[in-house]
């Protein structure tokens, strides 16, 4: 049984989307037990519509919920110990859950997760890792918004953690890792990226294969299993990709409705367009993983529909089933024990 704690009040639509999403995830994975944190009176009616989910869930009521526009510092002060978000995270710490899922305020979720769960040994900063659809299937990209800027040590840690996630999610023994850069030549890029590349080239790890530098077009091409960058660049890349997908969809709609012949052509090609739409649907690859914490926290897109919530839950399910935390902890320990560049240090808080 895999236990998943849920912040039911998070996201743009709250329980109205979260509860049906949990029901969809349960249909595909009946070995899930949910611990749902909600405000009183918000989920009971919805659970009555899903008797299987109700039977597989425990509802715990909280005093408050974190608003989507609330500042992280304010959310931490006012919601610590009593909000649905905090208590869903704390369930991991108290061993009531194996993973937490929330579609709530990203900054607040990260602040609370760091404060409640603390960082893993040797990890200075967490990273948000996202699953990215590519021409070859899927890749992992991190950091996509947790921190602005990163030094060589942090980029190397992101590489190790991203590779661990790829091993858990894609079930590959030695995922390929590339550092996002302005060119593939070793002389190009910031000093931090070049230094990280030199370290990874000689890294004593069997759990990853360092590919080298990759460029922006390599993300969508699926050149490597894991693309590593700092949060500012990663978030811009993510938002650019989402905007481009919407732009292309709008172009297609306009082109297909322009003339009678175009409309007729659309009828014959509808199956192909449906497959393209499914590939580009962000709800199909929803769920960013907070890596580097003493516990697994999954951030769902705030505007996700029920399919997106189900996808985020399934990411967490796969992370637990494939022992993500153990893989990352073992890889980080091995790397830091054998790397003179990064000596052992105390866990960050």
Q: Could you tell me if 138 and 254 lie in one domain?
A: yes
CB 80 within 8 A of CB 86: yes
CA distance 235 to 165: 19
pLDDT at 345 over 60: no
User: Does residue 295 fall inside a structural domain?
Assistant: no
Instruction: Look at 59 and 253; give whichever has higher pLDDT.
Output: 59
70 found inside a domain: yes
**Could you tell me if residue 224 is inside a domain?**
yes
Question: For the chain, what is the mean pLDDT?
Answer: 85
Answer whether residue 11 is part of any domain.
Answer: yes
pLDDT band for 227, please (50, 70, 90 cuts): very high
The pair of three-digit structure tokens given for residue 197, joined into one six-digit string? 């590349």
Q: Tens of pLDDT along 230-261?
A: 888 888 888 787 777 777 777 777 777 777 87
Q: What is the pLDDT of residues 16-51, one digit of tens each?
A: 999 999 999 999 999 999 999 999 999 999 999 999
Looking at the structure of the chain, the number of domains it has is 2
Q: What percent of the chain shows pLDDT beyond 70?
A: 90
Is it the case that residue 348 has pLDDT exceeding 60? no
* pLDDT value of position 29: 95
176 close to 209: Cβ distance less than 8 angstroms: yes
Query: Residue 37's domain spans which residues?
Result: 1-117
Residues 110 and 6 in one domain: yes
Q: How confident is the model at residue 207 (pLDDT cuts 50, 70, 90)?
A: confident
Q: Is the pLDDT assigned to residue 273 strictly greater than 60?
A: no
Residues 151 and 101 in one domain: no
**pLDDT tens, residue by residue, 287-313:** 888 999 999 999 998 888 999 999 999
In a domain, 38, yes or no: yes
Query: For residues 27 and 21, is the Cβ–Cβ distance under 8 A?
Result: no
Q: What is the pLDDT of residue 343?
A: 42
Confidence of residue 179 (pLDDT cuts 50, 70, 90): very high
Q: Name which of 191-200, 268-277, 278-287 the model is least confident about.
A: 268-277
Of 117, 133, 152, the domain-final residue: 117
CA 212 vs. chain centroid, Å, equals 23
347, 201 Cβ separation under 8 angstroms: no
CATH label of the domain that carries residue 101: 3.40.718.10
Residue 295 is encoded by which pair of tokens? 């516990």
Do 273 and 329 have their domain in common?
yes
């Amino acid at each position: 049984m895999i236990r998943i704690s849920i912040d039911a009040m998070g996201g743009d639509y709250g329980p109205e989307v979260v509860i049906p999403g949990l029901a969809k995830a349960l249909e595909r994975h009946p070995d899930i037990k949910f611990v749902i944190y909600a405000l009183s009176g918000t989920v009971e009616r919805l659970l009555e519509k899903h008797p299987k989910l109700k039977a597989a869930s425990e509802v715990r009521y909280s005093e408050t919920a974190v608003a989507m526009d609330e500042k992280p510092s304010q959310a931490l002060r006012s919601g610590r110990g009593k909000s649905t978000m905090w208590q869903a995270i704390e369930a991991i710490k108290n061993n009531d859950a194996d993973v937490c899922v929330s579609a709530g305020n990203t900054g607040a979720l990260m602040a609370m997760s760091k404060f409640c769960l603390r960082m893993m040994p040797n990890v200075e900063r967490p990273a948000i890792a996202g699953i990215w659809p590519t021409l070859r299937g899927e890749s992992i990209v991190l950091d996509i918004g947790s921190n602005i800027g990163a030094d060589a040590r942090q980029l190397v840690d992101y590489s190790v953690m991203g590779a661990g996630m790829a091993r858990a999610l894609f079930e590959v023994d030695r995922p390929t890792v590339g550092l996002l850069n302005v060119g593939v030549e070793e002389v190009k890029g910031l000093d931090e990226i070049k230094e990280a590349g030199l370290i990874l080239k000689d890294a004593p790890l069997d759990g990853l294969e360092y590919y080298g530098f990759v460029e922006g077009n390599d993300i969508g091409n699926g050149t490597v299993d894991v693309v590593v960058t700092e949060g500012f660049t990663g978030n811009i890349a993510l938002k650019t990709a989402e905007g481009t997908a919407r732009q292309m969809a709008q172009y297609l709609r306009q082109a297909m409705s322009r003339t009678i012949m175009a409309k007729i052509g659309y009828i014959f090609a509808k199956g192909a367009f449906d497959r393209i739409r499914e590939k580009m649907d962000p709800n199909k690859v929803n769920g960013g993983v907070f890596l580097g914490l003493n516990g697994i926290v999954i951030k769902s897109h705030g505007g996700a529909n029920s399919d997106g919530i189900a996808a985020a839950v399934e990411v967490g399910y796969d992370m637990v089933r494939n022992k993500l935390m153990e893989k990352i902890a073992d890889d980080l320990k091995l790397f830091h024990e054998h790397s003179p560049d990064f000596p052992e240090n105390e866990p960050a808080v």
